[in-house]
Structure 1
């Protein structure tokens, strides 16, 4: 099994779960990790723009899980990792004869203004560079197009779209980085009534494993539930007493739709089970 993003929050949980069930794992990394060494993961320092080197790492793997991503504010930099890196990985997988490619995407790819306050199914329109979406959203949508191209060329692919991934970890966006910014009064303006879709990282990991255990080709939302952004901030305030009473509020009309969650159980027979309260309790324990 080959995994990218193995030193990150989601990728690290995926690798740990694969090793727990005794899968052999190789990881393409930018910087080797002692934690991966302890898990018995074979690490290769390989850039995501080197298709030949990636193909050598992937040689003999029965599947490739792509969990690496960049979420910075610069579109060109995000494209290097998310768009071009995915294109190179798809090429490497095909060159190495890897039969299965599981791509960890995001619900950020949806063009929510085009959908409106409705249920967002997997066939909803996606963002584009011309629509004013974030560099992360744009390049993750472009990455999906690269994976779909590989699928059209014979690669067996599955695309998983989680919303906010909750759980404890030093590189967790919603468990560490956003709480830090909120505590320090640096959180960007938000509409508190906006829908906050979420999934626990272990439920996302379960979905990745289920996708690896089948040859079904599908694009699937992986959603644990919905609250509001204000509800998420209220949960943070329970253990961040120095955080401001409210984050800066913008004037945008809040999005109050929801992400469809019926296809995942139909296709993979999987129902996320971890609750919002349990996820936030894990984050709180990590902070305390």
Structure 2
């Protein structure tokens, strides 16, 4: 059996001449929390809709649990729970009654599953309260409870913290983090908020303008944020060439006169400073710089205003 719960091959969705999702090759490993990250309008929801069989791809294929979605759709979706955009509910019914309606629609025989999912999302005390009296965070947790009724092996959540206050976001975050550990569930969560994904995801895929531009373990993204030594000098190009001749790796960035070195240790900084000064360069500034994950995300997407 494949180690990947979700595999897509050149997954593409076009509307007339507009490509919304382009040649997507996604890999979601069993037992991971996969953060599907990208600016609004990047193609996240369209991708999720294709994964759930709600819309057909223009090209490419989707495999879930190692099976082709087009050939085994019903058996696959029986093991998948999802929350796409805003959850639907009956405001005049209680939380418990809403879940009972969903249980019957899903033809789930086990009536105990309602109490189980209420406990998971921490709504047991509010189960007899009408949903119209729920806070937005409680409604979102009720939506997740509905997605958990069939005890899914894969849970797909599309922007589950949208519109929530900090406390609601924290509740959803803690809930999602417990699912793989306690229930052996694989979770895929989409978001446009890097900070949220960073706090819960073990693996990350970044989509921009329909293209998957990064996919790896969250630590690989963090490694790109390691500190660098930033040097400002009077002759940056000549200084860069000189340092390279000394066997020192120098990084130049577009439209940036400064030099960047990967070794930011104090002793390395002292050595570089001495070499440059002895060679006759004026060193205006020498400092440690650390790029945040948000900086890296913005560099990858080149869409800072969309975050």
Alignment TM-score, normalising by the size of structure 1: 0.30
Higher normalized strand content (fraction of residues): 2
Structure with more relative contact order (C-alpha pairs < 8 Å, separation 6 or more): 2
Structure number with bigger Rg: 2
